[in-house]
Structure 1
Amino acid sequence: MTSSKQSKRNLVLLSRSAAAIFAIYGSGIGFAQAQSSDATAKANDDTQISKVVVSARRREETLQDVPVSVTAYSAEQLSKSGVADITGLVLTLPNTTMSASRGTNSTLTSFIRGVGQQDPLAGFESGVGIYLDDIYLARPQGAVADIYDVERIEVLRGPQGTLYGRNTIGGAVKYVTRKMGPNTDVRLKTSVGSYGQMDGVLTASTPLSETVRVGGTLAKFKRNGFGTNFTTGEDNYNKDVTAARLSAEFLPNSSLFIRVSADTSQDDSNPKHGHRLTVGKISGAPILSNVYDSRANLNTALGHKQQVTQSGVSALVEYQLESDLMLKSVTSSRHDKSYAPIDFDSLGTVDFDVPALYKNKQFSQEFQLTYTGKAFQGVAGVYYIDANAYNKFDVRLLGTSTFTEGDIDTKAWAAFADASFDLTKDLNLSVGGRYTVDKREATILRQIYLGTAGSPAMGNPAAILFRTDTNLTKSDLHREDKKFTPRVSLGWKASADQNVYASWTEGFKGGGFDPRMNLVGSKLSLDKAKQGFLPEQISTFEIGLKSAFAKNTVLTNVAVFHSDYKDVQIPGSVAIDTNGDGKDDSFAGVTTNAGKAKIDGIELEATARLTDAFSMSGMFSYIDARYTKYIGAGNIDVANLRVFQNTPKQTASVRANYDWDMALLGNSGKLSLSSSVAFRGKTYQFETPTPILDQDSYKLWDASLVWSRSDNRVRVGLHGKNLSDVRYKVAGYLFPTLGEGSTTAFYGNPRTYTLTLDYRF
């Protein structure tokens, strides 16, 4: 398709999308008017949907008023639905995929509107930013955090960067923890469930004086495995996580708030090994019947069992300079370490084993100045991050051990600003911009040792060096990327209950270096290696409508968007022949910039309080993500043969909830019965369609029965997840030519039941 035809196609799409929004808007007014007489008779404060307050634009606004694509979950919603960790939110989020990464329990893979990052190795930044109280988490290790001690979670879709923190090109997920109150507060949550689940979370806070409050949380999450490792006899897909958080808040006067926090977590779960989808090429090992079972033999890395530890300290200072002017400082330091035994072949022999170590550290500082006047609001700030990502691993395969070490430094700073002006009583204009400088330096070493006992760096000092394929230092590998990314948004309050907005935003993610590069086996030139991969760029145009009907008993949010995506970073691994005998005997990282892509989509979210007892909510999204230029081997454009990974075309969900008054053990309260069904369309695991690994469309059915005491001090819930016991793939490895053949898959959780008790002392 020529560029002119493509442009016309985009204009037609956008014009039709705009027409659709205004058609919905017009029919929405008719609906509201038609229902007004009945609504007046029946509606009251109890039937109205509670307003959700978010801080997506660095100031508190209701979800329906903010002209941004954002979905928010309150602590109350999360508790009543029984969502255990961040990946559980994906079933109700438009155009979003989040799951534990391949072979891990707590490393996050996330995609929003087709933009994300699958590989957690050093040198790659996620396209989706994860924030803990305004602190950007630079690495995905440990990001699959269990949800506790939160006030709400906000998920923003589209490029972010003019309002806070790190620039993220696809979207952002924000954990917002609650501030401590003026009275002593002690809360206990316990859970027991299928597969031996036993969880406990104890949270307490108390004032030491009128100006000082302290608090903390201790949590333990434990569960047996969904399957068995028949080689080691240990559980596969089990869970053993310990977490803690301490905070102190200081309120010297009404204008100053200071919070100092420290948190830590440790994941001691067994290695999560994949399920082979093919018979062993050499051994003839059959396919196991249970997709959660494995025969993997690798259980340690550097003599250490699988473990992920992370910790961080932070300081937040908010100083109210004037009634409408606030200065904020956010300072943070974080570290994490992962021992990761990855058995690619999932068999009991040393055929394709990769013991690995990941270490990350970061320091960040952000200053914000926020103004919230009546006709003008805005935020301006500066952000700095100094991060190091390090990994080393062996590839034990076909009589050799290939050692790879990558050490990547990132230093980035940015200045940003965003301002909103009331042009008229009903028309608002927002403009913003961000200037970012990203600097990266890398050291990469790749060596081949004889035998499969491993390299010296991974615990075998007697190893004999055969060859060094890559030995590049920071004097060889360094780059600096600079970019200004603007944002413009126009909001129109068409009526008291309808808000229309249109926005155009640019996003940017810096370039870098693949820490697995091989200058020999993959025939990568030195000049190409020094260049690294280029920055990604995206520009997104979006039109949205947020509406309330029938005296705030029905809420709808709809958005359509079009994105031009350039220089898409595609990290991947390919099998290579290191000794020239015509047989693949190792693999190397090959990261390319795909060229260009177009992404069009629509997102619809709705909530309805039909009576004071019965409510429903739902979501539907559609996305058409396609490469328009993708240069492959031989300088051939293979765009028509490539697909977007982790981006199903359709996703949808519907949830119904019914409440009725019910006393329990002499206490008045309310019983809630809810049930939900979620649909996800076909999902590709890689950019090249792979039928054996790609997941066909599927549906998940959940249900909950929750009793809450009228004072909300006691809550008891029974939660069933994946009640139809569907088996669905969330990740996989594909190296069919290496050794026994490594085609393995990882699956989402089977059917589970959990009984929870929340008690507030």
Structure 2
Amino acid sequence: MKRFGDTARVALLLASVAASPFALSTPAFAQDGVSEEEELVVTARRRDETLQDVPIAITVQSAEQLDQRGASDITVLQQTSPNSTVQVARGSNSTLIAFIRGVGQQDPLWGFEPGVGLYVDDVYVARPQAAVLDIFDIQRIEVLRGPQGTLYGRNSVGGAVRYVTSPLDTEEAHLRARFNYGSYNQMEAIISGSVPLTENFVVGGALALYARDGYGENLVTGAEHYNKDVDAFRLSAEWNPTDALSIRLSADRVVDDSNPRHGHRLASYPAGGTSYDVLPNVYDTRAGAGDDNHVTTAGQALRIDYELTPNLMLRSITATRRGKTEGIIDFDNTEFPTLDIPAYYRDEQFTQEFQLVFDYDRIQGVAGLFYLDATAEGAFDTVLGGLATTIFTQGSVDTESLAAFADVSFDITDSLALSVGARWTRDEKTGQVYRQNFTGIRSPFFGNGAAVPGLVRTNYTNDASFEEVTPRVSLTWEASDALTLYGSYSQGFKSGGFDMRGDAVFTPDTVNGYAPEFVDTYEIGFHSSFMQGRLNLSGAVFSSEYTDMQITRQEPTTLGGIASFVDNAASADINGAEIEGSYRITDSFRTNFSVGYIDGQFNEYMSNTVVANPAPPPATIVVPIDLSGSAALQNTPDLTASLSFTYEAPLANGTLAITPSAAYRGDSQMFEFATPALDQGAYTLYNASITWTSDSDHVRLGLHALNLSDEEYRVGGYNFPGATFGNSIIGYYGPPQTITGSIEFRF
């Protein structure tokens, strides 16, 4: 098998990734007819490997490729990574929802585990708040599809997104300064650089300032709606006292003061003598709840690599992160408090990971320990102004997780390798939930000291432990220098927990929490390079068994109400296929493409219904029913595809690159059951970028046009029909057509 040799070769390969303008998603092309799929180095398995050697379905996007596309944040990944959904969560500016192959997390409420793991420089990010990362000062982003449990800090049942920042240059100082101006008065400044202070000590940093007017307006308050006001920075220092020891310390912080996103009403509602009809501009709102919103997140990390021997390296990654959110969502989209949700959220996490990375000729691998100590807490009011009632909800979840993992590859022959991995995980969780009725508009927690306390609906503290061993095995065959085939089996595990919305009056079992869910995935795939590196293809077919799915349900109750309830209510079979590749048509004309297909079917989806009791009392009873025949996977189009072309030509002592692209997404549902007013039909986004880079590489000019057809497409929504909730059927939308010009100086 093709493996890595000495450190110098690895460094050379990593440098080629950062420098190459065509390290595009999955296969791209290098110089002299050598496939960049063979040369591209990734760390998907926590060790340096060429992309063609990795028995994983993976999409890799380099910084240069993202720059040429005009990508602003990681939501661009769903336009290039097949069978992936990466979007801004409903009612937020920077909270992430992600689905890969039908597995993910729609609800970003604290206490829920994400189905897709996010890592920044190998540090696990436990919460989705402020996780829609802006793209600056990066080396590459890797999207790994399928369960990731034997290699990564935290179990991820759907897949993982690895955000890898730029390495520090230990040889010479460098500086990059980029300025963007575009539609809706978009103004951005991104500055990054590093300076070697001694021959073995270097410091660096990056600062990013983002400002943009709103795509729409709050017609009640006059405030911008869908605006952007974000400041971010990263600082890092690296010390290499010996050839065997490397120490890197980093810190980051993001402050998001963008106005809250209240959404767009999709159904009319009469209130206060006024009929609140659907506004013609999908980015406008009539929200009277206010425009205050504040999100901060920050972290520090210490990474130590120590080469014990030429074949054995010990790595330690110590990190802390914390975040806080204060905001509000006006669900009814009127000036009245018909359905308003003021909210508060805070989280802290500490992680420690030890890895032992080894390469002994025919045996390579990684073994490690992972520890997580995390707390997430929050509170919100559900204000029902028409009833002069507020339901106050407050809760917290403490998580302590310990895991041991290993993944070892054995070269059976020069062309055949077997990889075997396993992970043991033990999670201990403590959940606390308090829920109480108040008469009045808002509770005392959110400023109404005159609110009259009423029925306590939930008040409990409970503990739960979850322990599991999850395996992974793969067989890789290098059929030729141009073709690598692999087959794999992997299991993903997501631990159970406690529902922070749980209403113990309606659903007494909520105090017991919910159990873990599992995904078993069988996959056959390949990586290839043909025609002296002109054509590169990667593909996979997979079959996943998704069991004990943690489903948030709206349930009728014996007391005549509706309650939100989290339960292990469903199972599904998910089958699909993916292919992605690139073709160098001429030396100056290249194309990249991807296609993903999913066929997901629920085997079981248990719910409850109220029926007449033939032998009262009571007059009605609740019976379980299976709704699998009418349920479908949420946020999972059956077909995704992308196509782009890049044409390069010399121009005025530089190189001009033109990159048009298109990304298609098929029909998808917001929730498991169809909601015609909210569900998004198929659509295609068309983009085009033009960049000019001087021959000296000191200056780059760019013009990026996104969503050229000005497509209106929903990325989230809420469905609360009926007069009590203000007929609150509201949608949230992706960006409209925008044009951005940029100038970048590199020294």
Normalised TM-score (structure 2): 0.92
Q: Counterpart amino acid of 2:275?
A: G
Is residue 222 of structure 2 the alignment partner of residue 233 of structure 1? yes
1:524 aligns to 2:522 (yes or no)? no
Q: In structure 2, what is the Cα distance between the partners aligned to 1:315 and 1:513?
A: 32
Q: Any idea what SS the aligned residue of 1:368 has?
A: strand
1:299 corresponds in structure 2 to 290
Q: Distance in 2 between matches of 1:402 and 1:74?
A: 47
- Find the counterpart in structure 1 of residue 315 from structure 2: 328
Shift of 1:273: 1.4
Question: Counterpart in 1 of 2:526?
Answer: 545
- 2:406 paired residue number: 417
Moved more, 273-282 or 555-564: 273-282
Change (3 A) 1:755 1:225: same
Are 1:136 and 2:124 matched, yes or no? Answer: yes
| 8 Å Cα contact 1:164/1:381 also seen in 2 | no
For residues 272-283 of structure 1, the aligned pairs below 5 Å read 272-282=261-271, 283=274
Structure 1 residue 529: Cα displacement: 2.1
Structure 1 residues 689 and 676, CA, compared in 2 at 3 Å: closer, same or farther? same
DSSP-derived class of the 1:159 partner: coil
> What is the one-letter code of the residue matched to 2:714?
K
Question: 1:267 aligned to 210, 235, 256, which one?
Answer: 256
Q: Note the C-alpha offset of 1:218.
A: 1.1
After the TM superposition, which residues 464-483 of structure 1 pair with which residues of structure 2 at under 5 Å, given as runs? 464-473=452-461, 477-483=462-468
Residues in 2 aligned to 1:164 and 1:711: alpha-carbon distance in whole angstroms: 40
Q: Mark the CA change 1:79 to 1:468 in structure 2 (over 3 Å): closer, same or farther.
A: same
Amino acid at match of 1:612: D
Question: 1:203-218 maps to which residues of 2 (within 5 A)?
Answer: 203-218=192-207
SS in 1 for 2:118: strand
Q: Which residue is equivalent to 2:514? A: 533
* Amino acid paired to 2:216: G
5+ residue gaps, structure 2, are 1-28, 609-622
Partner residue of 1:374? Answer: 361
AA in 2 matched with 1:616 = T
Which residue of structure 1 aligns with residue 572 of structure 2?
597
CA distance in structure 2 between the partners assigned to 1:561 and 1:281 by the alignment: 50
> Would the aligned equivalents of 2:33 and 2:532 in 1 still touch at CA under 8 Å?
no
Instruction: After TM superposition, list the pairs within 5 Å mapping 1:628-647 onto structure 2.
Output: 628-633=603-608, 634-647=623-636
Could you tell me whether the CA contact under 8 Å between 1:565 and 1:597 is conserved in 2?
Answer: yes
**Distance in 1 (alpha carbons) for counterparts of 2:417 and 2:597:** 29
Greater displacement, 733-742 / 88-97: 733-742
Structure 1 CA distance, aligned partners of 2:581 and 2:133? 27
2:593 aligned partner: 618
2:341 is equivalent to residue 359 of structure 1: no
- 1:288 is matched with 279
Q: 2:420 aligns with which of 431, 434, 437?
A: 431
Which whole-Å CA distance do the structure 2 matches of 1:573 and 1:140 have between them? 23
The residue aligned with 1:23 is: none
Structure 2: how far apart are the matches of 1:574 and 1:202?
51
Amino acid at match of 2:318: T
Task: Provide Cα deviations, 1:125-178, integer angstroms capped at 9, x if missing partner.
Answer: 110000000000000000001111111111100000111311111000001112
SS for the counterpart of 1:494 is strand
C-alpha RMSD over aligned residues: 1.5
> In the TM superposition, what is the alpha-carbon distance from 1:588 to its structure 2 partner?
4.4
Per mean C-alpha deviation after superposition, the further-off stretch among 338-347 and 495-504 is 338-347
Residues 507 and 557, structure 2, Cα contact 8 Å, conserved in 1: no
User: Is the CA contact (8 Å cut-off) linking 2:598 and 2:638 kept in structure 1?
Assistant: yes
- The reply to whether residue 114 of structure 1 matches residue 89 of structure 2 is no
1:609 match: 584
Q: Is the 8 A contact 1:515 1:589 kept in 2?
A: no
- Cα distance in 2 for partners of 1:193, 1:390 equals 38
Question: Residue 570 of structure 1: which of 551, 555, 560 is its match?
Answer: 551
Deviation at 1:594, TM superposition (A): 2.5
CA contact (8 A) 2:116 2:160 kept: yes
Cα distance in 2 between the residues matched to 1:232 and 1:489: 58
Match for residue 745 of structure 1? 731
Tell me if the contact between 1:405 and 1:515 (Cα under 8 Å) persists in the aligned partners: yes
Structure 1 length as normaliser, TM-score? 0.90
Amino acid aligned to 1:285: Y
How far off is 1:574 after superposition?
6.2
CA separation of 1:574/1:660 partners in 2, compared to 1, >3 Å: closer, same or farther?
Answer: farther
Shift of 1:425: 1.1
- 1:609-667 CA distance string (max 9 Å, x none): 1111000010001001111011110211111111100000000011011100111xxxx
1:229 deviates by: 0.5
Answer yes or no: is the 8 Å Cα contact 2:717–2:730 preserved in 1: yes
CA-CA distance at 1:572 after TM superposition: 4.5
Contact map agreement 1:47 1:609 (CA 8 A) in 2: no
Q: Partner letter of residue 288 of structure 2?
A: N
SS of equivalent to 1:632: strand
1:68 and 2:68 correspond = no
Once residues 195 and 432 of structure 1 are traced to their aligned partners in structure 2, the CA distance between those partners, rounded to angstroms, is 50
Residue aligning to 2:300: 313
Distance between the aligned counterparts of 1:329 and 1:572, measured in 2? 41
Is 2:693 aligned against 1:716? Answer: no
Task: Choose which of 663, 675, 678 in structure 2 pairs with 1:690.
Answer: 675
The one-letter code of the counterpart of 2:746 is: R
Does residue 1:500 correspond to 2:479, yes or no?
Answer: no
Task: Report the CA distance between 1:373 and its aligned residue.
Answer: 2.4
> 1:459: Cα distance to partner?
1.7
- CA drift of 1:461 comes to 2.1
> Share of identical aligned residues, percent?
47
Amino acid in the other structure paired with 1:684? Q
Letter in 2 for 1:567: D
Cα distance in 1 between the residues matched to 2:557 and 2:181? 48
Match of 1:556 in 2: 537
Paired with 1:484 and 1:290, the residues of 2 have a C-alpha distance of 51
Amino acid in the other structure paired with 1:565: Y
User: SS of the residue aligned with 2:344?
Assistant: strand
Higher strand fraction: Structure 1 or Structure 2?
2
Q: Deviations over 1:232-251 (max 9, x none)?
A: 10110000000011111111
Please say if residues 555 and 607 of structure 2, whose CA atoms lie closer than 8 Å, have aligned partners that are also in contact: no
**Shift in Å at residue 713 of structure 1?**
2.1
Distance in 2, matches of 1:510 and 1:754, equals 43
**Residue type at the aligned position of 1:626:** Q
How far apart are the structure 1 equivalents of 2:437 and 2:281? 36
> Number of residues paired by the alignment?
697
Q: Which amino acid aligns with 2:468?
A: K
Whether the 8 Å CA contact 2:35–2:529 is kept in 1: the answer is no
Shift of 1:217: 1.1
Task: Find out whether 1:338 has 2:321 as its counterpart.
Answer: no
CA displacement 1:664-692 (0-9 Å, x = unmatched): xxxx2110111111110001000111111
How far apart are the structure 1 equivalents of 2:157 and 2:410? 25
Instruction: Please say if residues 48 and 609 of structure 1, whose CA atoms lie closer than 8 Å, have aligned partners that are also in contact.
Output: no
Rounded to whole Å, the distance in 1 between the matches of 2:574 and 2:157 is 13
Distance 1:617 1:204, change over 3 A: same
What's 1:249 paired with? 238
Distance (Å, rounded) in 1 between the aligned partners of 2:557 and 2:250: 47
Query: 1:86 aligned to 2:74?
Result: yes
Alignment of 1:171-186 (within 5 A): 171-181=159-169, 182-186=171-175
**1:732 correspondence with 2:696:** no
Change (3 A) 1:715 1:222: same
The residue matched to 1:685 in structure 2 has which SS? coil
